[in-house]
Amino acid sequence: MVSAFGTMVGFGGGVFMVPILIMFFQYPIELAIGTAMTALLPAALVSSIFNFREKSIDYVVASLLQFPAMLGTLIGAFLVAYMPVLQMQILFSLFVLVVGVYMLATHKQEQKRQRGMMYRINRMPTSFIRKNHPKHLAYRLNGGLMAFFGLCTGTIAGLFGIGGGFLQTPIMIRAFKIPSQIAISTSLFILIITSLSGISSHYWLGHIDWTKSMPLMLAFALGALLGKTIKGNSSPTQQSSERLIGIGLMLAGVSVMVHIFLKYEF
């Protein structure tokens, strides 16, 4: 169910799975993170195969977000030694909760606010139009601003030791007005790259037990199929997708808070 929901909202599900493995299955935190990372790969692959066939992945957006995010991950890991990480993690989890509540409260009103600050910023230099002809969709992007957000999400991921995917989807939808189906599909495609790099690092650190990872990988792949089936049958609108993402952000905020308490053994 974690994978199915993650597929529907573009988060993957790793941010939810780590606390579950620690609390209910008594995994050490390092093993839980490594195991969750391996499980995300088949789910992201299954989802991206379907999304590739549906032509709903924007590879330009994926590149603008992911490459700066990889740099940000290194910066975040470096900042750990110089910043009060625990306090920042708590503030960040509260921030994610607030953003989730905000998305739930305003998803019906967003269409009325077409010319706010982000609308103007998104039309500054380095802006360009992206068109998805099969879906008959078009949207404007600011390449420099998107790369900056990618750097920020990567820094958060490196600083806090969590994935930044659950931030990228709402940023694409709210900040850049990318249609939800494109944003979700692109976020899941980015997750393939993130998972591969994460699996490599955790494998060399000895944080992966393949006998425990394989059943979860299979379960996540089946969950991704279930999520795509549910999503395909229900044909969610932009508003319903934003509502699901708002719920996902609230759950992610709670998951990050639980992760913090488990990590520092309060």
Q: Any idea where the domains of the chain sit in the sequence?
A: 2-264
pLDDT at position 100? 84
SS (H, E, C) 173-218: HHHCCCCHHHHHHHHHHHHHHHHHHHHHHHHHCCCCCHHHHHHHHH
Task: Give me the residues of the chain with pLDDT under 50, please.
Answer: none
pLDDT at position 1? 75
Read out DSSP for 56-123? Answer: ---HHHHHHHHHHHHHHHHHHHHHTTTS-HHHHHHHHHHHHHHHHHHHHHHTTTGGG--SSHHHHHTT
141-158 tens-digit pLDDT: 888 889 999 998 888 777
Instruction: Kindly report the average pLDDT of the chain as a whole number.
Output: 82
Q: To which residue do tokens 């601003």 refer?
A: 145
The type of residue at 93 is S
CA–CA distance, 198 with 202 (Å, rounded to integer): 6
Distances 46 to 3, 95, 99, 142, 219 between C-alpha atoms, Å: 11, 31, 29, 30, 12
Structure tokens at 50: 């379907």
pLDDT at position 214? 94
pLDDT at position 114? 53
SS3 57: coil
pLDDT at position 251? 83
CA–CA distance, 111 with 61 (Å, rounded to integer): 22
pLDDT at position 222? 93
